[in-house]
Structure 1
Amino acid sequence: MNNRLLITLISAVLLGGVAIGYTVLSGSAPEQAAHSVPTGTGPRLMVLSNGKLSTVSRDDPAGSRQVTEQRCDRAYSAAGTISCLRPVGALKASELAVLDSQLKELRTVPLTGFPNRTRVSANGRMVAWTLFVDGHSYAANGFSTSTGVLDTKTGTLVESLEEFAVEGMPQRPVDTNFWGVTFTADDNRFYATMSTGGHRYLVEGDFAARKVRPLVDADNVECPSLSPDGTRIAYKAAVNGDPQQGWRISVLDLQTRKITPLAETRSVDDQPVWLDDKTVAYGIQRDDGLNDVWAVPSDGTGTPAVVVPEASSPAPIS
């Protein structure tokens, strides 16, 4: 993706206004209007700051942020397509808003449930989302999710992956849930989590064929995130196979099936994001209820570090 997203997000700041004096972990760094944004080049991240779409320099993540008035519970961006799961309001249900790089609303999809995950394919064509229909935690018993996919090119909408056939299962079990989609480079294939019978599997999906295939040698894989080079999946794995004990961020090599637990030993209930082929980011909630975006090397070495304080839903942009 090019710099248009940053430019247009800044334009939205001018139109919508910002609240000055955003407090970050290391002190007070103001949200800045367009006239005070640094003009230098470099990697940036799109994040949610207090629920608002924002951008921040990855080289100075605790510095000033360009903040729009676009509110989302969860968001992601790729190649000029922004997926925004809008909050549930007192008088309204949730919805998916697909925005372009100028924050123009291209399509909305009414949804039922509480926003939880969203992803956009690398070229911006495919958009996926997950909501809780019943319950609010993957560690709870009896929760229910709804996961859908939108092809923004053709307009094809799959409201629930439960419409798909499951290979090896002539009849889909009634307790099946799907969540945490991540797309491959061809836009047709994807990975997701499927739970049934007390097990949580990594499944490979075929959008055109309307089917998913459980990878039986990849149990306990939740919220997968495919690496930019397409060779590995970062995910959260329930400690000792029990979500009640929390989750550990790990990386699965799709060819060798080698699993590498990452250096983050705290419980992480998030869908990881690859900042590049060597770095995995994720959100952790603090004791005060706020979230920080952390990152750690993908090879199991290093030490976790805060990438963006008081933020969530990171997505790398350039």
Structure 2
Amino acid sequence: MTKTWFITGTSSGFGRLLTERLLARGDRVAATARRPEAVQDLRAEYGDRLWSARLDVEDRHQVQQAVDEAFAALGTVDVVVNNAGHGVFASVEEASDEQIRRVVETNLLGSVRVIRAALPHLRRQGHGRILQVSTSGGQTTYPNFSYYHASKWGIEGFCETVAQEIAPFGIGLTIVEPGATPTGFGGALATAPVMPEYDAGPAGDTRRALAEGTFRLPNDPERIAQAMIDSADGETAPLRLPLGSDTYAHVRASLTARLAELDAHRDTALSVAVQEDPAGI
């Protein structure tokens, strides 16, 4: 059974790979991007099964317009993929206010806008699936990515809440967590002038690993795209979809460490609870 998809950030990376694979299997795709001309080469082959629009998720009016027009043109949308993303690679003091604003606007607020714009349509049609592209860095951290992590941890908390709220409407939501993958995203990271105070520490170590090519990218982008499609085709929507050997290892280590720390503070946590009066007064 063919599906209709609405995807943000389709000019490159996972968005482009998803669009190609879905069209090739016979689905319809509403492909949106800041540069929609990047997918126009697909129109000659797939015709009106490809619908495209310019969309900068930082612009709430543009988000609403693109979502409304896609549903109007296609009649129904089965899967919404929030894929548009932006990253800043800098230590906490190196990034500018504008760089911080853009990463939060795109990854957190932009994703929220798309979900909010799509939900009235999905509720009316009585079904749908949302795939929110996050990262292993939505549950773990790496030096020099603090603002990227802030946006991804934020969208994961938002989506985990929303998944509970929209389940009664027949709408599923899955947070997709790819690991480090050669999609070209690293080359598009915003950077800032390096401060020597941070260059000698973990932030500098991560910067040098990327520059020297020793920061591993162990995952296959084609396989990740297919895993996302397979998940959306499934009958039930998992809350999270970890994708990558590094994702599994790093997130598991992070969760294990956090649980151990929580347990270490068990007595302190319980000590501040209001104690019931044994006399019932």
TM-score, normalised to structure 1, is 0.27
Higher normalized contact order (CA 8 Å, seq sep 6+, divided by chain length): 2
- Name the structure with the higher helix share: 2
- Name the structure with the higher strand share: 1
Could you say which structure has the larger radius of gyration?
Answer: 2
